[in-house]
């Protein structure tokens, strides 16, 4: 599989395997290791996590799988996120969900992630969501110390808009390397809020979470979903593609912003759909057919 450079000396796989819901997969450590190994064999070497996924359990599940084959860690890249504090049985002192971008929380979150994942370093740490109470100087100090101590190699954000990205960048010694946002044929928000143009301006390669729109593309719940599903199936037929999921991934992969889809699934066949999409030659008109179906109106 082609790989994609986020910096001159850091690259990840063109498709990322997401573990947002891995606690719901009910896989044994052996089965989870097998899934990760098969993903790597397909060329999907990058795995996306967050401290809070699965109510603070998903990182540990992945770490338990990696313990069964320590050598695999050297062949993969691990992404994780921090910044959200959930109410949880693990933290009975918390009265409500908040965001915390103070120095202590960022560094302690990373230390917990390292322990849970059973690794000495995280390849890429993302701030999970922008916050109304944000401490950029504290973030900058935490990033600097984590980098110096070899605990995190690179840093990015998730769900930030261009102004929020620029604001944080102005405090940092090193560039943020990506922004993970929701992009799919159903969710076009980042075509409207300036992010897609910003990615192109900054040569920043974004990741796309929920590329299949949480099932809304092929189990549509509204008129928009039905329109998009029809367009996807029509384009699949035009391209002689056996599964319309491949068309979704091809739609994302075609865009010049170099969108990196995060495929969150326990089924290796569905990871393969994303990989197969790299070989789908979608035309510009077919791309717009899907885009216009989502918009619900022709271009002006």
* Sign of the alpha-carbon dihedral angle for 49, 54, 56, 57: negative
Pair of tokens at residue 172: 């940092």
> Cα-Cα-Cα-Cα dihedral of 52, 73, 41, 242, to 10°?
10
What do you get for the CA distance between the two ends of the chain, in Å? Answer: 38
Contact 34, 62 (CB under 8 A): no
Widest distance between CA atoms in the chain: 56
Q: Of 53, 56, 154, 249, which residue is the catalytic one?
A: 53
Sign of CA dihedral 140, 141, 147, 148: positive
244: left (phi over 0), alpha (psi -120 to 50) or beta: alpha
* Helical packing angle, 268-276 and 29-41, nearest 10°: 20
Examine the residue annotation and report whether 53 is marked as an active-site residue of this protein: yes
Name which of 162, 96, 155, 92 is nearest 128 in CA terms: 155
- Tell me which residues are annotated as active site: 53
């Amino acid at each position: 599989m082609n790989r994609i450079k986020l910096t001159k000396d850091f690259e990840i796989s063109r498709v990322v395997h997401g573990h947002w819901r891995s606690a719901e997969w009910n896989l044994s450590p052996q089965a989870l290791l097998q899934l990760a190994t098969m993903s790597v064999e397909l060329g999907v070497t990058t795995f996306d996590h967050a401290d809070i996924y699965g109510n603070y359990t998903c990182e540990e599940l992945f770490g338990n799988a990696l313990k069964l084959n320590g050598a695999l860690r050297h062949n993969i890249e691990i992404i994780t996120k921090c910044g959200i504090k959930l109410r949880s049985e693990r933290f009975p002192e918390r009265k409500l969900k908040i965001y915390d971008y103070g120095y202590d929380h960022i560094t302690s979150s990373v230390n917990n992630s390292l322990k849970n994942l059973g690794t000495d370093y995280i390849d890429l740490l993302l701030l999970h969501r922008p916050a109304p109470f944000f401490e950029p100087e504290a973030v900058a100090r935490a990033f600097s110390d984590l980098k110096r101590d070899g605990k995190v190699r690179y840093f990015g954000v998730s769900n930030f808009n261009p102004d929020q990205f620029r604001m944080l960048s102005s405090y940092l010694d090193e560039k943020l390397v990506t922004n993970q946002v929701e992009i799919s044929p159903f969710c076009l928000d980042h075509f409207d809020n300036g992010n897609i143009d910003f990615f192109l301006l900054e040569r920043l390669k974004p990741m796309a979470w929920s590329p299949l729109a949480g099932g809304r593309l092929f189990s549509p719940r509204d008129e928009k979903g039905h329109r998009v599903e029809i367009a996807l199936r029509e384009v699949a037929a035009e391209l002689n593609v056996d599964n319309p999921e491949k068309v979704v991934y091809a739609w994302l992969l075609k865009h010049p912003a170099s969108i990196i889809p995060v495929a969150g699934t326990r089924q290796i066949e569905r990871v393969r759909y994303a990989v197969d999409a790299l070989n789908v030659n979608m035309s510009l008109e077919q791309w717009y057919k899907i885009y216009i179906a989502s918009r619900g109106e022709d271009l002006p």
